[in-house]
Amino acid sequence: MQNDKRNLLRNIVAGLGLGAVTAASRTSPASALEKSSPVLEPQDRWLDELGRRHRQAFDTISSEGVARALTFAHTFYAANRDGYGIQPDELGVLMIFRAGSTAFGFNDNIWTKYSGPFAKRYKLVDPVTKSAPVVNIYNATDRAALLPTNGLTLDGLGKLGGQFAICSVASRKLAEAVAEETGGSGDAIFAELRANTVQHARMVPAGIIAVNRAQEQKYALCYTA
């Protein structure tokens, strides 16, 4: 009788142990990771429309950073093509304009109108005229040969399939700074900026958000200061 009680107790304990193992497996690290996977927000679905075979994001925060990003983007496309036979439309390439590179997300209409404030803010000199730029120097083919970009312009990158994300927060600050210097309206200038982005570009809530969302969508990140 005493042995029967001991056997019964052992069976109960063994059953409890098996239950604990089963419960643990249901909350395994893999399961927990799955629950914490990033969510693709509706506003960010455009990021998943770019090429999926290999993806690269360039995070730029200065004029020099844009030049470096264009150089690296040129190499990224060329090396994938020559070394692997991978065509541009199979690649996802994103360039992010924020902080000190924000103004390069806008077209020549903006650069002509606000040449003075931009040149002063970014300490820029046009490599052709040697004066304040009245065009976006990274989107002008006649400037490309004089800049460290391997001859690639923003428009050229867009034609290869590249896309651009412009920080709304930095754009708003840029508009306010230009308004203060010109006596204009920050809201009106911000509206101008939104209406005059370079081709293949869009405003995003913040540049750092684009950095985050791109990595969540499997873009490798290259930071160019």
- The pTM is what? 0.84
Q: Do both 115 and 28 map to the same domain?
A: no
Q: Is residue 77 part of a domain?
A: yes
Q: Do both 8 and 69 map to the same domain?
A: no
Q: Do both 31 and 7 map to the same domain?
A: yes
What are the 10-residue block averages of pLDDT along the chain, 225 residues in total? 53 47 50 72 97 98 97 98 98 98 98 96 94 97 94 98 98 98 97 98 98 98 95
pLDDT (0 to 100) of residue 9: 46
Q: What CATH number does residue 131 fall under?
A: 3.40.1260.10
Q: Is residue 40 part of a domain?
A: no
Q: What is the DSSP string of 164-218?
A: EEEEHHHHHHHHHHHHHHHT--HHHHHHHHHHSBPTTEEEES-HHHHHHHHHHTT
Q: Do both 136 and 91 map to the same domain?
A: yes
Q: Do both 22 and 50 map to the same domain?
A: no
Q: Do both 51 and 11 map to the same domain?
A: no
Write out the H or E segment, with its range, that includes residue 93: strand 91-97
Q: Do both 10 and 62 map to the same domain?
A: no
pLDDT (0 to 100) of residue 149: 96
Find residue 204's DSSP bridge partners: 167
Query: For residues 58 and 66, what is the distance between their CA atoms, to the nearest angstrom?
Result: 9
Q: Do both 95 and 12 map to the same domain?
A: no
Q: Do both 57 and 14 map to the same domain?
A: no
Phi-psi region of 164 (alpha: psi -120 to 50; beta: other; left: phi over 0): beta
Per the structure, how many domains does the chain have? 2
Q: Do both 108 and 190 map to the same domain?
A: yes
pLDDT (0 to 100) of residue 18: 44
Residue type, 130: K
Domain carrying residue 118: 45-224
Q: Is residue 189 part of a domain?
A: yes
Q: Do both 23 and 129 map to the same domain?
A: no
pLDDT (0 to 100) of residue 43: 96
